[in-house]
C-alpha cells in the first residue's frame, strides 16, 4: 500500500459513525449487488471501520475523579473521588 490510504479518515470517526458505516457496508456486501472491484475496496474499508470500533471499545476504562474548584467556583483540576 504505497498509495495514500483511502481509509485514513476512519481513525477520526466516532464509534457511532464508524459502526453505522460498517453496518451499511455489511448490508451492501450481503445484498451482493456490488461489483467485484468495489466489493474488495469496501470490504477493506469495512475492516478498517471494524478495527476502529474495536479500538474505541477497548480503550474505554473506568476512571472516576472529583472536580476541584477554585475561589471563583471554576474547575481548577481533579482529584480522586474519596468516599
Partner 1 sequence: MASDQPLADSPTSNVAEYSVGEISQAVKRTVEDAFGRVRVRGEVSGYRGPHSSGHAYFRLKDDRATLEAVIWRGTFSKLAFKPEEGLEIIATGKLTTYPGSSKYQIVIDAIEPAGAGALMALLEERRKTLAAEGLFDAARKRPLPFMPRVIGVVTSPTGAVIRDILHRIADRFPCQVLVWPVRVQGETSAREVAAAIDGFNALAPGGPVPRPDVLIVARGGGSLEDLWGFNEESVVRAAAGSAIPLISAVGHETDTTLIDHASDRRAPTPTGAAEIAVPVRADLEAHLAQLGARLAGTVSRLADDRRSRVRALARGLPQPDQILALPRQRLDGLDGRLRSSLDARLAERRGRLAALGAMLAPARLSEKVARDRQSLDRLARDLPLGLSRGLDLRRRELAHRAARLTTRTSQRLHGDGVRRLAQAVARLDRRAQDKAGDAASRIAEAARLLKSLSYQSVLERGYALVRDADGTPVRGSAGIASGDRLAIQFAGDDRLDVVADGKAPKNPGRQKPARPASKGGGQGSLF
Locus of grid cell 474499508: 45
Q: How far is the CB of 17 from partner 1 (least distance, A)?
A: 9
Residue 55 binds partner 1 (CB under 8 A): no
Q: From the list 8, 37, 63, 71, which residue makes contact with partner 1 (rule: CB under 8 A)?
A: 63
Contacting partner 1 (CB under 8 A), which of 4, 37, 62, 71? 62
Task: State whether residue 77 is helix, strand or coil.
Answer: strand
Phi-psi region at 73: left, alpha or beta (left = phi > 0; alpha = psi -120 to 50):
left
**Residue 12 engages partner 1 in binding (rule: CB under 8 A):** no
- Residue the block writes with cell 457496508: 25
Amino acid at each position: 500500500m504505497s498509495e495514500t490510504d483511502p481509509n485514513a479518515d476512519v481513525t477520526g470517526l466516532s464509534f457511532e459513525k464508524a459502526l453505522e458505516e460498517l453496518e451499511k457496508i455489511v448490508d451492501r456486501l450481503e445484498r451482493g449487488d456490488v461489483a467485484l472491484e468495489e466489493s474488495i475496496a469496501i470490504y477493506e474499508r469495512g475492516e478498517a471501520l471494524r478495527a476502529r470500533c474495536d479500538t474505541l471499545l477497548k480503550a474505554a476504562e473506568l476512571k472516576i475523579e472529583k472536580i476541584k474548584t477554585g475561589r471563583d467556583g471554576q474547575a481548577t483540576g481533579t482529584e480522586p473521588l474519596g468516599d
